[in-house]
Structure 1
Amino acid sequence: MKIDQIHHVAYRCKDAKQTVEFYKKVLNMDLIGAIAEDRVPSTKEPDPYMHIFLDAGQGNILAFFELPNSPPMGRDQNTPDWTQHIAFQVKDMDVVMEAKARAEAAGLEVVGPTDHNIFQSIYFRDPSGHRLEIATWTTTPEKMKRMADSAQDMIEEWSRTKKPPRHTAWLHEKEFGLN
């Protein structure tokens, strides 16, 4: 079996209508479908929900569930707030900066642009608190090859030591004053 692409990625939201409006206004995503049921089709559990689907471009779909009968949304308190996020790729830095302007105009706090050496990005949050990233590649084929060539060795070293291998330290050396 070979995966063709991701069909959709689904998250929980606090309010389906507010989520649709946010993603349209800030990221220009269109609502392409909605499903609402009193029972979960896969488990048959009684749990009313609204499931919305947004067009994230090129066949990518971002989905959300509003679950009014479930306890309020929370997050894993043992996972740092910055780790779980949805990253959207855009064409170039002009589009990143346009997204930053749109997010700031909507009253959102925006972090960045952050230079990751192989891409640059900005970060902000949606109304449900999900961290969003808008990113554009700024790399060369040589840098990507350098990173890919060391990836398996890094995984092996990390697995043994649980300490960050230095193979790709060049990505952020300037940012941390190591250059």
Structure 2
Amino acid sequence: MKIEKIHHVAYRCKDAKETVDFYQRVLNMDLIGAVAEDHVPSTKEPDPYMHVFLDAGNGNILAFFELPTLPEMGRDPNTPKWVQHIAFQVPGHEDLMEAKARAEAEGLEVVGVTNHGIFESIYFFDPNGHRLELATWTANQEELDKLRAVGPAMLEEWSRTKQPPRHAEWLHAKEFGKS
């Protein structure tokens, strides 16, 4: 068995309509469907919900559940806000700048453009508190191959030491003009 792709990723939202409106307006995603039930199909638990599906491009689907009978959404207080996020790819730098301008026009606080050495990105939050990243590749194939080649050794070293391995420090050296 081999995974073909992610079918969909689902998150919780505070308000399904507000969430769909936001993703349509800010990220130009189309609503491709909605399902509402009184019982959870997999567990048969009684729990009314609205489940919406958005087109995230190239067959990728972003979904949300609104759960009106449950306590308000929360976050894991032990995980920094920057860790859990949804990253979307855009074609190029111009698209990233257009998205940044669009988000800022909505009154959103945008972090970046951040140079990650092999891609650049911006960050902002949706109305539910989910951190979003828009990214575009800047790496060439040689850089991507080099990063893939050092991945296993980096993981092994991290597993032993819990200290950042330096196998790919060239990524950030490039960012700071040290390459």
TM category, shorter: over 0.9
TM-aligned CA distance change 1:112 to 1:57, over 3 Å: same
Residues 54-133 of structure 1 aligned to structure 2 (within 5 Å): 54-133=54-133
- Letter of the 1:121 partner, please give it: S
Question: Is the aligned partner of 1:4 residue 2:7?
Answer: no
Match of 2:173 in 1: 173
Q: Deviations over 1:62-106 (max 9, x none)?
A: 000000111110011111110000000010000000100110011
Measure the CA separation in 2 of the matches of 1:160 and 1:139. Answer: 29
Please, what TM-score do these two structures have when normalized by structure 1? 0.97
> What is the CA–CA distance in structure 2 between the aligned matches of 1:169 and 1:11, rounded to whole Å?
33
The residue that corresponds to 1:30 in the other structure is 30
Q: CA deviation at 1:59?
A: 0.3
Within a 5 Å distance, the mapping from 1:14-29 to structure 2 comes to 14-29=14-29
- Look up the equivalent residue of 1:94 and give its one-letter code: E
Unaligned runs of 5+ in 2: none
Residues 28-47 of structure 1: CA deviation (Å, up to 9, x unaligned):
00000000001100001111
The two structures, once aligned, show a CA RMSD in angstroms of: 1.3
If the length of structure 2 is used for normalisation, what is the TM-score? 0.97
Distance 1:109 1:175 in 2: 23
Once the two structures are aligned, what percentage of the paired residues are identical?
72
2:81 aligns to what SS in structure 1?
coil
Give 1:14 deviation, angstroms: 0.6
Amino acid at match of 2:35: I
SS of residue in 2 equivalent to 1:172: helix
Distance between the aligned counterparts of 1:82 and 1:178, measured in 2? 26
Query: 1:22, 1:140 → 2: CA distance?
Result: 34
State the 1:172 CA deviation. 1.6
2:173 aligned counterpart, secondary structure: coil
How many angstroms does 1:174 deviate by? 5.6
Count the aligned residue pairs: 179
Name the counterpart of 1:159: 159
Distance 1:113 1:63 in 2: 26
